[in-house]
Amino acid sequence: MLRHMPDDLSLGEAARAIGVSADTLRRWDRAGRLRTTRDAGNRRRVPRDEIERLTARPRRGDTGDALSARNRFAGVVRSVEVDGVMALVELEAGPFRVVAAVTRDAVEELGLAPGVEATAAVKATSVMVERSGR
């Protein structure tokens, strides 16, 4: 991840590499969340493996496709309602029912019809939830 880094860094260098303040690293050191060493001048040094540990990010799950959407619901088309240039496609995906408004052209090009296997890829910037029974 971090290349050509010395075996250890000064507190300021380590803070920049991790993306936090030097004060944060001092607090982490006192709390035992960060392992440091001391140089001849009694200044804190942060070992490279600590920098790598603190900057490591867990790998996100692959979609298995070239599509960027992470929320994918594989299922079976239960109904297709075409009205003018638009259509509503209902997909049963396990315990979920996903309804998508798509174009008539998309329905025809994809061959969507009841019983056809399909996947709904959901990518949204917001999701609204309404409480039931109100």
**Statement: residue 103 has pLDDT above 90:** yes
Do residues 113 and 78 lie in contact, with contact meaning Cβ atoms separated by under 8 Å? no
Give the model's pLDDT for residue 1.
46
Give the CATH number of the domain where residue 18 resides: 1.10.1660.10
Asked if the structure places residue 132 within a domain, the reply is no
Q: How confident is the model at residue 2 (pLDDT cuts 50, 70, 90)?
A: very low
pTM given for the model: 0.47
Please indicate, yes or no, whether residues 47 and 81 belong to a single structural domain of this protein: no
Mean pLDDT for all residues in the chain? 85
Give the model's pLDDT for residue 54.
86
Please indicate, yes or no, whether residues 38 and 78 belong to a single structural domain of this protein: no
Q: How confident is the model at residue 123 (pLDDT cuts 50, 70, 90)?
A: confident
- In Å, how far are 6, 57, 79, 126 from 69, measured between CA atoms? 39, 20, 23, 14
Full residue range of the structural domain in which residue 102 is found: 71-122
Asked if the structure places residue 95 within a domain, the reply is yes
Pairing of strands 8-10, 44-47: antiparallel
Asked if the structure places residue 96 within a domain, the reply is yes
